[in-house]
Amino acid sequence: MTDTCTEAPSTYAASAEFAAQANATADLYDHANRDRLGFWAAQADRLSWQTPFSQVLDFSDAPFAKWFVDGRLNVAYNCVDRHVEAGLGERVAIHWEGEPVGDRRTITYGELYTDVCRAANALTGLGLRAGDRVAIYMPMVPEAVVAMLACARLGVMHSVVFAGYSAAALKARIDDAEAKLVITTDGQYRRGQAVPLKESVDEAISAGTDASTVEHVLVVRRTGIETPWSEGRDVWWHDVVNSASPEHTPEAFDSEHPLFLLYTSGTTGKPKGIIHTSGGYLTQTAYTHHYVFDIKPETDVYWCTADIGWITGHSYVVYGPLANGATQVLYEGTPASPDEHRHFEIIEKYGVTIYYTAPTLVRTFMKWGRDIADAHNLSSLRLLGTVGEPINPEAWRWYRDVFGANETPIVDTWWQTETGAAMISPLPGVTVCKPGSATRPLPGISARVVDDNGNLIEPSPELGEHASGYLVLDAPWPSMLRGIWGDQDRFRETYWSRFAEQGWYFAGDGARYDLDGNIWVLGRIDDVMNVSGHRISTAEVESALVGHSHVAEAAVVGASDEHTGQAIIAFVILQADSADGGKHMVDELRAEVAREISPIARPKEIHVVPELPKTRSGKIMRRLLRDVAEGRELGDTSTLLDPAVFEAIRNAR
Ligand code: WT7
């Protein structure tokens, strides 16, 4: 259809063949609109409940929701045991591909069952009980998935910390959750090199003045590199897990039993521990995985490229696909290791049919050029997905053309750590896709775009397509967060205070409608940046910068960047007695942020400036700094204390 047109089409319907075999049908919307709670009850029936729920939703204590009230289930049983009981023990759960070429393992559901039982028994042996917290700080190895499921099986909450995070970031998360156990690996492979990982755990536990809550460190041997060892505290996975019993009877927990904590950036420097619970979370991840990814567990090979350190890895590597008995690829390394062909080789080798990734990676592939992709047979692919940030239409079309042979549907899924599962997305085979738009709320989900007063910004020819507003979720959903660990005031304040009167959840994103009623998510409107799909708060980076002895003040903004969506740009004022702001200092500060937070938070640019633009009340005007960073004419400077500061800032750049 595109070949004959000079202009790229603005809408893409799925082929008749795809629609005919699709899991989703348009009547899902009708069912959900007619009887929302009945619809969700039907979705909950995908799971195996030990005790059925007596009520779908209790929102009487809003914003604290209870979904599937009185129901009891075991999440790990639903992800593993029940498939084995159904005779699917021989089905591959995970095709694991290590970073070193040739390093691979195939794990069936039967094997996964044994591994999870052994790990659960080992955790019990280490003193873990339901309600305890375990930090998981691991690369993408099968044991990481096993560790998460073993925690779930015991009703122990996991807090997965991305293995690219620093010791300081890990420490903050261990301390906030008061974790009793850390599960890690000796080292990890990074671009062909084995680098230490457990060292950071040791550093995190011993740093600070207070005694750590950590009683044991459970270590998977991954690289064999030398590892510091604390007798009595540290234990090898192969010692305690491999020798544990392969039998374990799962206990059923309340539907609202907490499943995990996942820390994410907010508008302050302190990360928030987002709480997710069991029945609702698993219902919505399984439901969305079934329909949005059109999964046919008997034949599909699914690959979500996200790391388990992010919510996408939780919901669409671990819980959703495993609840649905899917076969998936788990890849340990980076896309360019050993060279740019790696992802395409994996797709070809395993016959991947569904591929879900981030727009930033699509843009990286574009930069590498289509010759790389074209060197491979990608004809197994039948559905593509994106998540994490808006995808520019050009990248969308390239993705469909090069990965999808100009044929496959693309599901652009909008959601957040807080929502737990996909919320706004096309249903493949049903929805007519528009490149750049996540289209509509999924059946059972309700969202709207509103102005400051909560009035709907209706798509209308008069308003055109340019009126934008705030994205809100105006009805509770099963996988919604249940709060912020240890700070429920912050939970109310962050998400529920802006539209308190209406009782709506404020997502923090700007959005608009098009004339067809599709939603276009425009990006964060708060002080949260989105760099390559990673959420980083300006305050977190600022606090890492001012932590440096030479920095007096810092202001950080996200400036739009062609490649990473946004790029981190920092403006710093140095201490009076410190050396000049030469390149050496800038390099040192960039390294400091990478050390303090993670390399993903390393500012792209740091400008040493004599002053920062402030309002009379002392608030830094980031909006103006963004104008400077993006090379724009200055916006309204009327509230600025000293408009002349920009002269100085411009000169300093
Ligand atoms: C923020 C949430 C959901 C897992 C990955 C990120 C942005 C996410 C989209 C999309 C436009 C998107 C939003 C959102 N975002 N998906 N399809 N289109 N923007 O999870 O780290 O919690 O970040 O990512 O700004 O608020 P997260």
Residue 61: which CATH number? 3.40.50.12780
593 CA → ligand 1 middle, Å? 23
Please report the sign of the dihedral spanned by the C-alpha atoms of residue 374, residue 377, residue 382, residue 383: negative
34 CA → ligand 1 middle, Å? 29
Residue to probe by mutation, ligand 1, list 165, 305, 318, 415, most atoms within 8 Å of CB: 415
437 CA → ligand 1 middle, Å? 13
| Ligand 1 site, residue 115, Cβ cutoff 6 A | no
Assess if residue 256 is contained within a domain. Answer: yes
CA distances in angstroms from 567 to 368, 394, 532, 534, 559, listed in the order given: 20, 20, 9, 11, 5
Query: Are residues 509 and 537 located together in one domain of the fold?
Result: no
Q: CA 461 from chain center: how many Å?
A: 36
| Ligand 1 site, residue 413, Cβ cutoff 6 A | yes
Cα gap 578→543, rounded to integer Å: 18
Mean pLDDT of 179-194: 96
Note the pLDDT of residue 579. 63
For the chain, first and last CA: distance in Å? 48
Please report the sign of the dihedral spanned by the C-alpha atoms of residue 500, residue 504, residue 509, residue 510: negative
In the predicted structure, residue 491 carries a pLDDT above the cut 70: yes
Note the pLDDT of residue 438. 98
At a CB cut-off of 8 Å and minimum separation 6, what does 32 contact? 39, 443, 444
Cα gap 607→352, rounded to integer Å: 45
Instruction: Please indicate whether residue 621 or residue 307 has the higher confidence score (pLDDT).
Output: 307
CB 330 within 8 A of CB 140: yes
Query: Are residues 587 and 515 located together in one domain of the fold?
Result: no
Assess if residue 385 is contained within a domain. Answer: no
* Of 524, 542, 566, the domain-final residue: 524
Query: Are residues 566 and 591 located together in one domain of the fold?
Result: yes
Residue 549's pLDDT band, with cuts at 50, 70 and 90, is confident
* Of 524, 542, 558, the domain-final residue: 524
Note the pLDDT of residue 610. 85
Residue 3's pLDDT band, with cuts at 50, 70 and 90, is very low
Please report the sign of the dihedral spanned by the C-alpha atoms of residue 350, residue 353, residue 356, residue 359: positive
Query: Are residues 77 and 213 located together in one domain of the fold?
Result: yes
Cα gap 128→148, rounded to integer Å: 13
Assess if residue 17 is contained within a domain. Answer: no
**pLDDT tens profile 439-467:** 999 999 999 999 999 999 987 777 667 67
| Ligand 1 site, residue 521, Cβ cutoff 6 A | yes
In this structure, which residue's CA is closest to atom 21 in ligand 1? 535
In the predicted structure, residue 2 carries a pLDDT above the cut 60: no
Query: Are residues 463 and 556 located together in one domain of the fold?
Result: no
304 CA → ligand 1 middle, Å? 15
Query: Are residues 76 and 160 located together in one domain of the fold?
Result: yes
Query: Are residues 459 and 583 located together in one domain of the fold?
Result: no
108 CA → ligand 1 middle, Å? 32
Assess if residue 410 is contained within a domain. Answer: no
Query: Are residues 596 and 520 located together in one domain of the fold?
Result: no
Query: Are residues 459 and 548 located together in one domain of the fold?
Result: no
| Ligand 1 site, residue 506, Cβ cutoff 6 A | no
In the predicted structure, residue 78 carries a pLDDT above the cut 50: yes
Mean pLDDT of 545-553: 88
Query: Are residues 50 and 140 located together in one domain of the fold?
Result: yes
Assess if residue 390 is contained within a domain. Answer: no
**What is the CATH classification number for the domain harbouring 605?**
3.30.300.30
**pLDDT tens profile 331-386:** 999 999 999 999 999 999 999 999 999 998 999 999 999 999 999 999 999 999 99
Q: What is the CA radius of gyration of the chain?
A: 24
- Please state, for a pLDDT cut of 70, what percent of the chain lies above it: 95
Assess if residue 382 is contained within a domain. Answer: no
| Ligand 1 site, residue 414, Cβ cutoff 6 A | yes
In the predicted structure, residue 643 carries a pLDDT above the cut 70: no
CB 319 within 8 A of CB 309: no
Burial of 268 (0-12, 13-18, 19+ CB in 10 A): middle
Cα gap 368→139, rounded to integer Å: 25
User: 556: which 2 tokens?
Assistant: 């950080």
Assess if residue 394 is contained within a domain. Answer: no
3-state secondary structure 113-124: HHHHHHHHHHHH
* Of 471, 491, 524, the domain-final residue: 524
Note the pLDDT of residue 583. 81
Note the pLDDT of residue 258. 98
Query: Are residues 210 and 154 located together in one domain of the fold?
Result: yes
The residue segments making up the domain with residue 555 are 530-652
Assess if residue 3 is contained within a domain. Answer: no
Note the pLDDT of residue 1. 39
**What is the CATH classification number for the domain harbouring 500?**
2.30.38.10
Domain count for the chain: 3
Query: Are residues 224 and 291 located together in one domain of the fold?
Result: yes
| Ligand 1 site, residue 264, Cβ cutoff 6 A | yes
| Ligand 1 site, residue 519, Cβ cutoff 6 A | no
| Ligand 1 site, residue 384, Cβ cutoff 6 A | no
Torsion, Cα of 476, 479, 483, 484 (10° steps): -140
